[in-house]
Amino acid sequence: MYGIFMESLVIFKLYTGLKLLFALTLFAWIYLLITEKERRNRLMFVYAPLIIILLFLFPLSRKYFVAAGLDGETYYRVLWTIPMGIITIFGFCRLFERHRRIGLVVTAALIIFCGKYVYKSEYISKAENLYHIPDTVVKICDLIEPENPDTRASAVMPPELIHYVRQYSARINMPYGREMLVPQWKYDNAIYKAMEGTEVVDIDVLLKATRDEYCQYIVLAPGRQTEQEPEECGLVLVGEIDGYRIYEDPVSVKIVESWQEYYEDEE
Amino acid sequence: MILLKVFSLMIWLLVVPFCMGLLILPLLEKQQRTPGIALIGGYILQFALLELIGIPVVVYVTYNGFSTFLKIFIPALVLLALLGAALFWRRHSMENGWGFLKENQGSIYGFRKMGWEERIMLLLFLGLVAFQMYMAFTRASFDGDDAYYGVQAVVAQQVDTLYRINPYTGRSTPVDVRHALAMFPVWEAFLGSASGVHATIICHSVVPLVLIPLTYTIYYQIGQALLKKQDKHLTGSLTFLFMALIALWQIFGNVSLYTPETFFLTRTWQGKSFAGNFIIPAVIWIFLKLYEEEREKGLWVLLFCLNFAGGASSSLAVLLSCLMTVGFGLLFAVSKKRIGIFIKACLSCAGGGIYVLLYLLLTHGLLGV
């Protein structure tokens, strides 16, 4: 029980970042605790948050949360029910009720000083198109996407493209996807091992794995080294886009085409 | 062509939800009948409908699930929107309006009558919102979960199946029961198909432009409820001060990856962000109003729908909104010494309760699909 309590405490610390912005919320909460007279506001923004934090830290809460089939990693979202933004801003609005202009300047300065600018995140970049995925992915997908809307192409992609490919086209399958990039999920995939397991790709090993899965395309990242020349192993270079080399495997293509012909005849 | 798509999106994202929200207005008190509340109410109804129609389709329709869903969902939306518009028109001509679109306390319709302090605060707030929308449109925010949720929308649109394809690989799979009841990606696929726009563009470039202002519409209601004064100008000043600071708080609330503020501006299009930035604030707004007007039927109806609609964003959202409902209901009942509030709060969780029960049955394998 103590262990669960400590875990929940760590989740709480990670959630607030223990940054100064949390101190602002705490200050506003204390101010409301002392000065707020309206019963409704006290119930919702003074007492309820306290109850929620106590319940959040209470070990049995987390136990039941997981027992209910919910993902333990999302337990922090229980804290979303404490509206820290509303509590803080409401507290400061009350504090500066009679000096609103000063309140605006002081509170804004405090928020800017204590907070963290969301657009400074390493995950945010200038959008290259309306899809908000790299142009390179769009171009590669356009090249390998089958013309017939009822058919699929299967392609092995380098890790940096994996998240985006199927956001652009659900008609391009991949032998492995994001699940292989999250180590704690512990997935296993022979093609991934052949493609990413070694610094230099052994094309013979990779081809054996991709042919087992009837994968028609292999995309190699710029500068990716190979033990053998891909063309010598039977691959055909169908394009090079922003340094990415896109190879087609005629053997898999032929097999997949024969299936398609079979199904078309059946229809 | 582009203009036609933009027009179509405006119909589905603004006109239809707004008209649906008009259905709720007669159940609310006169001062609550504002365009903002119509839009919020419309979105709550829309997501409740999304769940009501979507869940049986996901569970029972294996092939062509998305087109089956559209065949029911689109006519239902149009029907409710037309009904709302007709009802509004009829009441408008009979009673000379509901006070709607006229002067509402502190609303932007009275801009000319505002004092300069109110105007500055309002313009500052609007500037911050415009900035957030600009950034949402021009900046790409990487999030690994898009490879799941974003792709579910693309799969629905391009492959015509719901939650029966592994989004990471494209292989067929049994229904992913852990996520299948959350229909938010299906809603985005619907918007894409109804307007002829790729689902990923809908997620990343279109939906944030609507959900960001929509969230602030709720905060505006909260601000008004919290800071209402006798003096109209004072209410306006304080409300817009609240709004400007809340908008700034969102921009600087990125103290960790887990805050609703971070989700709001970096993962706006994901259901979980909708849970933290629409469902939960909406519960707070409804309870702020319920404390004063506990007998108002419309608010209880909205709460009932909201507790079910939360399921569109995630199963956890339903659980959280229901827990908040029961918790606030209990606090209010004790405070006012009226057990009726608690009973009504529990009853308003009925839809959400059924959702949770279904979720438990599916995830524990007690109900096969």
Q: What is the pLDDT of residues B216-264, one digit of tens each?
A: 999 999 999 999 888 888 888 999 999 999 999 999 999 999 999 999 9
pLDDT confidence of residue B101: 52
What are the pLDDT digits (tens) for B314-328?
A: 999 999 999 999 999
Indicate if the alpha-carbon torsion angle B317, B321, B322, B327 is positive or negative: positive
How far apart CA B187 and CA B47 sit, in angstroms, is 8
Residue B1 lies in a domain: no
What are the pLDDT digits (tens) for B267-277?
A: 999 999 999 99
Amino acid letter, B205: S
Q: Listing from the earlier edge strand, what are the strands of the sheet with A172-173?
A: A172-173, A153-156, A217-220, A244-248, A236-241
Which range of residues forms the domain containing residue B146?
A: 7-98+108-363
Chain A / chain B CB contacts < 8 angstroms = 246
Pairing status of strand A124-126 against strand A153-156: unpaired
**For residue B352, is pLDDT > 90?**
yes
Backbone angles phi, psi at B9, to 5 degrees: -65, -40
pLDDT confidence of residue B105: 46
**For residue B140, is pLDDT > 80?**
yes
Q: Which of B123, B151, B242 should be substituted to probe chain A, the one whose Cβ sees the most A Cβ atoms within 10 Å?
A: B151
**For residue B368, is pLDDT > 80?**
no
How far apart CA B313 and CA B323 sit, in angstroms, is 16
* C-alpha to C-alpha distances, B42 to A110, B39, B49, B71, B77, nearest whole angstrom: 36, 5, 10, 20, 10
Which chain A residue has the Cα nearest residue B153?
A: A167
Interface of B with A in 210-269 (CB under 8 A): 219, 222, 226-227, 237-238, 241-242, 244-246, 248-256, 258-262, 265-266
pLDDT confidence of residue A48: 97
Q: Do B324 and A81 touch (CB under 8 A)?
A: yes
Q: Is A22 on the interface with B (CB under 8 A)?
A: yes
* Mean per-residue pLDDT over chain B, rounded: 93
The full 3-state SS of B52-74, as one line of letters, equals HHHHHHHHHCCCCHHHHHHHHHH
| E strand or H helix that includes residue B2 | helix B2-10
Q: Is A21 on the interface with B (CB under 8 A)?
A: yes
Q: Is B279 on the interface with A (CB under 8 A)?
A: no
Nearest to B168 by CA among A173, A134, A213: A173
Question: And the tokens for B294?
Answer: 């506990």
Residues 6+ apart with CB under 8 A from A47: B331
Q: Do B275 and A77 touch (CB under 8 A)?
A: yes
Q: Do B158 and A179 touch (CB under 8 A)?
A: no
Backbone angles phi, psi at B23, to 5 degrees: -65, -30
Residue B58 lies in a domain: yes
**For residue B102, is pLDDT > 60?**
no
CA A56 to chain centre: 25
Residue B103 lies in a domain: no
In chain B, how many domains are there?
1
Q: Give percent of chain B above pLDDT 90.
A: 82
Å between A203 CA and nearest CA of chain B: 22
pLDDT interval class at B115 (50, 70, 90): confident
pTM: 0.94
What are the pLDDT digits (tens) for B36-54?
A: 999 999 999 999 999 999 9
Spans in chain A with pLDDT lower than 50: none
**For residue B106, is pLDDT > 50?**
no
Mean of pLDDT values over B55-65:
93
How far apart CA B53 and CA B146 sit, in angstroms, is 24
Backbone angles phi, psi at B21, to 5 degrees: -65, -25
**For residue B109, is pLDDT > 80?**
no
Nearest to A94 by CA among A28, A42, A43, A44: A28
Which chain B residue has the Cα nearest residue A74?
A: B316
Which chain A residue has the Cα nearest residue B234?
A: A97
Å between B253 CA and nearest CA of chain A: 6
Contacts of B142 in chain A (CB under 8 A): 123-125, 163
Q: Is A189 on the interface with B (CB under 8 A)?
A: no
Residue B277 lies in a domain: yes
Residue B330 lies in a domain: yes
How far apart CA B262 and CA A117 sit, in angstroms, is 10
How far apart CA B146 and CA A143 sit, in angstroms, is 23
Å between B205 CA and nearest CA of chain A: 6
pLDDT confidence of residue B230: 80
- Among A69, A89, A169, select the one facing B360 at the smallest CB separation: A69
**For residue B103, is pLDDT > 60?**
no
Å between A51 CA and nearest CA of chain B: 10
What are the pLDDT digits (tens) for B278-328?
A: 999 999 999 999 998 888 899 999 999 999 999 999 999 999 999 999 999
Q: Is A99 on the interface with B (CB under 8 A)?
A: no
- Cβ atoms of A136 and A244 within 8 Å: the answer is yes
Q: Do A15 and B291 touch (CB under 8 A)?
A: no
pLDDT interval class at B367 (50, 70, 90): confident
**For residue B92, is pLDDT > 80?**
no
Q: Do A132 and B238 touch (CB under 8 A)?
A: no
- Cβ atoms of A207 and A217 within 8 Å: the answer is no
pLDDT confidence of residue A180: 92
Å between A224 CA and nearest CA of chain B: 23
